Chain A
Amino acid sequence: MATETADDVLSVHDLKSYFFSREGTLRAIDGLSFNLKAGKVLGIAGESGCGKSVTAQSILRILPRHGKTVSGQVLLTRDGKVTDLLALGEESSEIRRIRGKEIAMIFQEPMTSFSPVHTIGDQIIETIRLHRGLSKAQARASAIEILESVGMPHPSRTIDEYPFNLSGGMRQRAMIAMALSCNPRVLIADEPTTAVDVTIQAQVLELIRQMQAQLGMAVIMITHDLGVIAELADHVLIMYLGRGVEFGSVEQIFHNPKHPYTRGLLASIPKLQKGHTLVEPIKGAVPNPYDAPAGCPFHPRCPQFMQGTCEVTMPQVVEVEPGHWVACHLYGGEDQR
């Protein structure tokens, strides 16, 4: 989805990542394409099992052992030089230089992504020394500076705390500090606020927004919460069962949604505006991904299901207006606008 332009920092082409187990093959991502523009925020939204986290893992080559990226390209552009991350070995020194340095990631639950037996300072310093080659003292000074910039209270003291001594919000700040410590080009945030309370969520989102503006990095914000997307994203990719079903600017997606799934999602969430009193659920539930429906994966739940088409063929991706792409048979014919 989306046309390639010169300012793409990351572009994903026809990515397929499968999981192999005794129950069969799970096509977690099945032909996904999108572009991330330098300095912009791309929101990836979808329900459980849509493959949004696997997308992040595939980009960084950190899929669990029974998962494998079987085809596609993930092109990272650095100063005019293009590298296909999928051509690098999972353990190669080149991908290690990219992880954390060029593409950093923050996770949903910082408690499980920090090592519990090292102080947060040690973990941030390790990252800085690995990628920036500073001395221990310089790295420590730099870590304190970063902790301060993410709003950590008393950074020269908290740097020596263990993760379990920090509250959820503070751990998330430490996680962000670690991710930003090497000034990455791309930050991938996988449900960064799902485990924290709403007032802390506001703090974390504000922080990501500030840091993004300040450092000019591109962000991939993965979340199930369309409110978070509306707030932060410039562009939005809606995923369903391993595929991108719609891509567009945040205004296009929220004010002129085309795919019946996107429309259904937007209609199914209660809103805070005055006078909003009706929500309309999508019928059924997300199917078992081991047993994905034939044709368009959304067809069993779709209110605009067309017999003889939707359950037979996979819809093509169509550009319905400039920069707005949809994979749906409703827009598939030649005489579409």
Chain B
Amino acid sequence: MSDIDNSSRPLVEVRDLRKYFEATHGLLRKVVGTVKAVDGVSFSIQQGETLALVGESGCGKTTTGRCLIRAVDPSAGSIRYSFDNADPIDIATVDKHQLRELRRSIRLMFQDPYSSLNPRMTVFQIISEPLLINKLVQNQSEARDRVQSLLQMVHLNPNKMDRYPHAFSGGQRQRIAIARALAPKPRFLIADEPVSALDVSVQAQVLNLLKDLQHELRGLTYLFVAHNLSVVKYQSDRVAIMYVGKIVELTVTEELFLTPKHPYTEALISAAPDPEPRAVRRKKRIVLAGEVANPADPPSGCYFHPRCRYAKDVCRTTEPPLRDIGTAQQPHQVACHFAEELTLRGIE
């Protein structure tokens, strides 16, 4: 596991983050509704930690990640970020000048390395661009030196820095994307599905690289946005499960997988196909009925109740708050009325 610094205040502290999109209709773009993509999300991330945001499509995990770097402007809430141990700033309200500085410290990396790298730029240009824009290098030769060491860091041959992305495989391209992200020496990397576009045999190359880099560059912090639970279990220290714009469960990885407390988490774990023929045939799979609720028209009460096999009357009327049912050493946040009473099944 990584070197997590629990002593001081968190690197990132998100409080009641909301992002509402307006749904419009027709030529005059009349507002017909509000899509609550992110609806009151709170979490914090310690320096050196990997927090995973997990959920199905449309749950708001990507939008949350984008709010953290202000790629989209949040509708409400605060995102306190501790810049170089100075007093935290609120990312949700910083001005343009600060934002530029911030984006040196917080970096975003994308799912598909076939579309995220400009095909008309060489690898050198791709990786050195953030260095030159931020004036982190004085001249070209210094830039080449930096790119060379960055390529070595991601285990790519530096002699190939004048080639174009098409000359590289998917896994290599994703390593180029990592080198670019890490070029301005950030402290916080938001990785949005970084391996889901890769072949299975090379996914592990990228996962292990991200882990090794966290170890090498002490204090590098990840927000890992993903849908694949096996990958999340392998990669993260803590996991937040999202459903229709809200966090429904958040705790340390092992606890979440061994003793899930939210029925949605239990169903997700049960639904994940595991490459283990005997194990999967032994367990009786929980197949959730229906589909993820529409965030423009969510159900009453607990958003999960129409699909929940444990739902009772109170679930239909009252929304459960996210509350801590863990211990002081091991907080375990869950938003379910019956979290204490239910005995849910995790991994074996």
| Contacts A273-B347, A281-B208 given; does A228 touch B273 at CB 8 Å | yes
The reply to whether A229 and B275 contact each other, CB–CB distance below 8 Å, is: yes
The reply to whether B267 and A266 contact each other, CB–CB distance below 8 Å, is: no
A205 to B270, CA, bound (A): 13
Among B169, B205, B207: residue with most chain A CB under 10 A: B205
Name B269's closest neighbour in chain A (CB-CB): A272
Contact of B188 with A by CB under 8 A: no
Contact of A324 with B by CB under 8 A: no
The reply to whether A199 and B200 contact each other, CB–CB distance below 8 Å, is: no
Point out the residues of chain B lying under 8 angstroms from A47, CB to CB: 199-201
Contact partner of A269 among B230, B235, B281, CB < 8 A? B230
Contact of A94 with B by CB under 8 A: no
A200 to B57, CA, bound (A): 11
Closest chain-A Cβ to B170's Cβ sits at a distance in Å of: 7
The reply to whether A286 and B287 contact each other, CB–CB distance below 8 Å, is: no
Name B1's closest neighbour in chain A (CB-CB): A277
Contact partner of A286 among B56, B169, B270, B274, CB < 8 A? B169
Point out the residues of chain A lying under 8 angstroms from B230, CB to CB: 227, 269-272
The reply to whether B203 and A281 contact each other, CB–CB distance below 8 Å, is: yes
Contact of A225 with B by CB under 8 A: yes
A250 to B287, CA, bound (A): 23
The reply to whether A197 and B287 contact each other, CB–CB distance below 8 Å, is: no
Contact of A22 with B by CB under 8 A: no
Contact partner of B273 among A230, A265, A286, CB < 8 A? A230
User: Given contacts A201-B273, A202-B286, A273-B274, could you give 13 more A-B pairs where the C-beta distance is less than 8 Å?
Assistant: A197-B292, A202-B271, A205-B273, A225-B200, A225-B273, A227-B230, A230-B276, A269-B275, A270-B230, A270-B234, A272-B257, A279-B208, A286-B169
**Residues 199 to 245 of chain A near chain B (Cβ within 8 Å):** 199-203, 205-206, 224-231
Point out the residues of chain B lying under 8 angstroms from A272, CB to CB: 229-230, 233, 257, 269, 272, 274, 347
Contact partner of A274 among B258, B280, B292, CB < 8 A? B258
The contact sample of 10 A-B pairs, CB cut-off 8 A, is: A198-B56, A199-B56, A227-B230, A228-B273, A229-B275, A265-B201, A266-B275, A270-B235, A272-B269, A272-B272
Point out the residues of chain B lying under 8 angstroms from A167, CB to CB: 291
Closest chain-B Cβ to A173's Cβ sits at a distance in Å of: 11
Bitwise interface map of A from 264 to 288 toward B, beta carbon under 8 Å scored 1, else 0: 1110111111101101111001100
A269 to B171, CA, bound (A): 15
The reply to whether A270 and B199 contact each other, CB–CB distance below 8 Å, is: no
Contact of B132 with A by CB under 8 A: no
| Contacts A169-B291, A254-B277 given; does A268 touch B272 at CB 8 Å | no
A197 to B258, CA, bound (A): 22
**Residues 249 to 269 of chain A near chain B (Cβ within 8 Å):** 250-251, 254-255, 264-266, 268-269
Bitwise interface map of B from 253 to 294 toward A, beta carbon under 8 Å scored 1, else 0: 000011000000001111111111111110001111001100
Closest chain-A Cβ to B171's Cβ sits at a distance in Å of: 6
Closest chain-B Cβ to A223's Cβ sits at a distance in Å of: 9
Contact of B337 with A by CB under 8 A: no
Point out the residues of chain B lying under 8 angstroms from A230, CB to CB: 273-277, 280
Q: What count of chain B residues pass the 8 Å CB interface test? A: 48
Contact of B231 with A by CB under 8 A: yes
Name B274's closest neighbour in chain A (CB-CB): A272
The reply to whether A270 and B207 contact each other, CB–CB distance below 8 Å, is: yes
Point out the residues of chain A lying under 8 angstroms from B280, CB to CB: 227, 230-231
Contact of A48 with B by CB under 8 A: yes
The reply to whether B288 and A203 contact each other, CB–CB distance below 8 Å, is: yes
Point out the residues of chain B lying under 8 angstroms from A200, CB to CB: 291
Name B227's closest neighbour in chain A (CB-CB): A198
| Contacts A264-B201, A279-B207 given; does A199 touch B273 at CB 8 Å | no
Contact of B202 with A by CB under 8 A: yes
The reply to whether B275 and A271 contact each other, CB–CB distance below 8 Å, is: yes
The reply to whether B287 and A202 contact each other, CB–CB distance below 8 Å, is: yes
Name A301's closest neighbour in chain B (CB-CB): B201
Point out the residues of chain A lying under 8 angstroms from B93, CB to CB: none
Point out the residues of chain A lying under 8 angstroms from B340, CB to CB: none
Pick the 9 closest A-B CB pairs, nearest first: A227-B273, A285-B169, A281-B204, A270-B234, A202-B271, A197-B56, A226-B275, A282-B201, A47-B199
Point out the residues of chain B lying under 8 angstroms from A201, CB to CB: 271, 273
Name A252's closest neighbour in chain B (CB-CB): B277
The reply to whether B207 and A198 contact each other, CB–CB distance below 8 Å, is: no
Point out the residues of chain A lying under 8 angstroms from B258, CB to CB: 274
A199 to B172, CA, bound (A): 31
Contact of B313 with A by CB under 8 A: no
| Contacts A281-B203, A281-B208, A282-B201 given; does A270 touch B269 at CB 8 Å | no
Closest chain-A Cβ to B321's Cβ sits at a distance in Å of: 24
Contact partner of B200 among A169, A226, A273, CB < 8 A? A226
Among B231, B233, B235, B258: residue with most chain A CB under 10 A: B233
**Residues 184 to 218 of chain B near chain A (Cβ within 8 Å):** 199-205, 207-208
The reply to whether B205 and A281 contact each other, CB–CB distance below 8 Å, is: yes
Contact of B348 with A by CB under 8 A: yes
A205 to B286, CA, bound (A): 12
Name B209's closest neighbour in chain A (CB-CB): A281
